Structure 1
Amino acid sequence: MAISVAAAQERIVSERRFFTGMAVSMAAVAFAGFAHTYYLAGFQDAPTPVLTPWLHVHGALCSAWVVLLIVQVRLIAAGQRSVHALLGSAGVIVAAATLFAGLYVAFHSQRRVHTAANADTLADPYVFLIFPFTAVILFALFVTLGVMAQAVMS
């Protein structure tokens, strides 16, 4: 019996390390992906992109979402389920705001220069919109599935 309890405890510790590592890895990938054009844009010698106030709102919301992921994983690892649940409710608000900011930024992108030369190609900003729209739809789908799964488990 003692061996199975020790094995179960080791599995729990291992899972907590895994999920914490994955959350931190996701944050690192997001930072690396946006470091050149957003997080560290002011420190580059290259021309900086146009960062409108809405891009800052979108960036702040997406950053908050990733930080929230790490905090939520650590709360569960620490056994703080009630705080995790409370923060999860706030996470739904952050997710909804991220969704709307993402759509707004996609529609009002500074890249919108529709010409005859780029019409019907991926360089056409209107054709390129399929990528942010797909990302927003998938984000909304996964958040909705997460909320539904949590409702079933409660």
Structure 2
Amino acid sequence: MNPRQILVAAMLLGSVASADLTVILPDPEIYADTSEGFLIETTLPGTFKTPEGVIAALLTLGDQAKNKKLENPFTPEALRGSSHFEGAKPLAAYYRGARIKDKEFIVSFSGEAMRYLNNTAGIQEFVKGSLVATVVKNFPAVKTVQYEIDGEIVTDWDA
């Protein structure tokens, strides 16, 4: 299922209402100046309530954020300065789903997602920072966010 099909399926399952989804995206200007407080709250069109819907919306609608100063770190353009740029697809192309187990939020991807998740420290801060902050904002009971790659939880990261 491609990212747009996931989004349509989420809509058909009733996870979308008429308000906006609060997400967190990086401000590259603040990051360049201080690298603190660079993750900024903004909104995307639609209210997505399920774990799958929130992550699918963040990954596929990042370019539609209300605050246009913020960067969408989930596109190949965000990888331009890294060795992982060649042939990269948007992170949404590698997205497999999300679920909550107890107080743990698990986001599943195929192996190619490591281009984003295990890249330079800066890219990791933008990508994982946005994912984690958006999850915590929309699911406040969540205590940890884990990344599942090809069915295995990854805990060791380079950079």
* TM-score, normalised relative to structure 2: 0.28
**Higher relative contact order, chain-length normalized (CA < 8 Å, sep 6+):** 2
Q: Which has the higher strand share?
A: 2
Q: Which has the higher helix share?
A: 1
* TM-score, normalised relative to structure 1: 0.28
